[in-house]
């Protein structure tokens, strides 16, 4: 399984679009891995997780051909993960596509409702986009990848999801952002699942959150519990992502803090193979 992190920032990006804090100023000065666009991920070049406002930049920067994308999995309806204005451009005359090249979008009830309203107001989109409500804990297939939505601990107004992704080789990834420490029903479901890769929210940086997002102290707790219940071991790769300038630590400082605990720190363009 190949996982490419297209964006690794929280909703305001880093540097924040209007922010003048010392951490955003330093990110502008240092550049490189300290510049974090809004979060999105590409799995095996065939499935995208989330569709942030920075997707067009990702397409140009990483030379991605979204005309070939067939599967888009959405974690929740917040605008930094589900930017519908660009999705509405997947139609004639804005996009010239091969006949029958549908894009299947999967998500919760809120995602389904928002997308259906857009399609109903612009019926030509029905020729280019299918929207699927996926219930929590029910596995479905998106091309050659098996996908299972799990409940996250995030916005209490909707069933926000984290996901299990499993490829044809049986390699399995737990994709865990945006979320605090997982709800118990998610912990109960993942018992008996071994993960080759675990990707976790680290919005709070060095601080503890656990209720809506996580920081490294929460990530450590999640890692320890995953190992305790047999979902991970020393061969499992652990990655942290989804960073906010309010977490204060820039990339090298995050690496220094996370490395002793066995976490890789993602950055825009970071790739991991399992």
Where does the pLDDT of residue 99 fall: very low under 50, low under 70, confident under 90, or very high at 90 and above?
Answer: confident
**Tokens 């090249």 sit at which residue?**
101
Position 74 scores a pLDDT of 98
Where does the pLDDT of residue 133 fall: very low under 50, low under 70, confident under 90, or very high at 90 and above?
Answer: very high
Position 265 scores a pLDDT of 98
Q: What is the mean pLDDT of residues 114-123?
A: 95
- The mean predicted confidence, pLDDT, of the chain is 97
Q: What is the mean pLDDT of residues 149-153?
A: 98
Where does the pLDDT of residue 145 fall: very low under 50, low under 70, confident under 90, or very high at 90 and above?
Answer: very high
Query: Which tens digits make up the pLDDT trace of 185-199?
Result: 999 999 999 999 999
**Whole-number Å distance between alpha carbons of 190 and 236:** 15
Position 184 scores a pLDDT of 98
Q: How many distinct structural domains can be found in the chain? A: 1
pLDDT at residue 149 above 90? Answer: yes
Compute the Cα dihedral for 6, 10, 16, 22 and give only its sign.
Answer: negative
CA atoms within 13 A of residue 57's CA, in its CB half-sphere: 14
Bridge pairing between strands 47-49 and 40-43:
antiparallel
Q: What is the CATH number of the domain that holds 64?
A: 3.60.15.10
What radius of gyration do the chain's Cα atoms show? 18
Per DSSP, what are the bridge partners of residue 264? 239
Position 210 scores a pLDDT of 86
Tell me the whole-structure pTM to 2 decimals.
0.97
Query: Which tens digits make up the pLDDT trace of 222-251?
Result: 999 999 999 999 999 999 999 999 999 999
Q: Cis peptide before 203, with omega less than 30 degrees from 0? A: no
Query: Which tens digits make up the pLDDT trace of 205-224?
Result: 999 998 999 999 999 999 99
| Residue 257 backbone phi and psi in degrees, to 5 | -75, -40
Q: Cis peptide before 178, with omega less than 30 degrees from 0? A: yes
**Whole-number Å distance between alpha carbons of 183 and 191:** 13
The alpha helices in 149-241, defined as continuous H runs, are 184-190, 216-228
Closest Cα partner for 42 from 165, 136, 146? Answer: 165
Range of the domain at 44: 2-273
pLDDT at residue 95 above 90? Answer: yes
Q: What is the mean pLDDT of residues 251-265?
A: 98
Q: What is the mean pLDDT of residues 40-49?
A: 97
Share of the chain above pLDDT 70, in %: 100
Position 100 scores a pLDDT of 82
Per DSSP (E only), the strands in the chain are 2-7, 40-43, 47-49, 71-73, 103-107, 129-133, 140-142, 145-151, 161-166, 172-176, 197-201, 237-241, 263-265, 271-273
3-class DSSP state for residue 108?
Answer: coil
Position 32 scores a pLDDT of 98
The DSSP call for residue 154 is S
């Amino acid at each position: 399984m190949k996982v490419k992190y297209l964006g690794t920032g929280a909703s305001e990006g880093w540097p924040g679009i209007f922010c003048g804090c010392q951490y955003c100023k330093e990110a502008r000065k240092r550049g490189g891995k300290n510049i974090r666009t809004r979060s999105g991920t590409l799995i095996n070049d065939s499935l995208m997780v989330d569709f942030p406002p920075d997707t067009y930049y990702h397409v140009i920067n990483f030379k991605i051909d979204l005309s070939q994308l067939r599967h888009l999995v959405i974690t929740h309806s917040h605008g930094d993960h589900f930017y519908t204005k660009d999705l509405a451009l997947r139609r004639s005359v804005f996009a010239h596509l091969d006949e029958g090249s549908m894009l299947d979008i999967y998500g919760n009830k809120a995602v389904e409702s928002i997308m259906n309203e857009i399609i109903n107001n612009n019926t030509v989109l029905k020729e280019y986009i299918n929207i699927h409500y996926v219930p929590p804990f029910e596995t479905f297939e998106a091309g050659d990848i098996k996908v299972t939505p799990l409940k996250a601990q995030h916005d209490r107004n909707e069933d926000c999801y984290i996901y299990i992704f499993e490829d044809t080789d049986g390699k399995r990834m737990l994709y865990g952002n945006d979320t605090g420490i997982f709800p118990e029903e998610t912990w109960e479901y993942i018992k008996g699942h071994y993960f080759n890769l675990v990707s976790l929210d680290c919005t709070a940086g060095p601080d503890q959150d656990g209720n809506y997002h996580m920081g490294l102290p929460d990530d450590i707790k999640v890692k320890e519990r995953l190992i305790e219940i047999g979902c991970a071991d020393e061969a499992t790769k652990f990655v942290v992502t989804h960073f906010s300038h309010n977490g204060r630590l820039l990339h090298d400082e995050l690496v220094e803090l996370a490395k002793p605990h066995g976490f890789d720190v993602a950055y825009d363009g970071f790739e991991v193979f399992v």
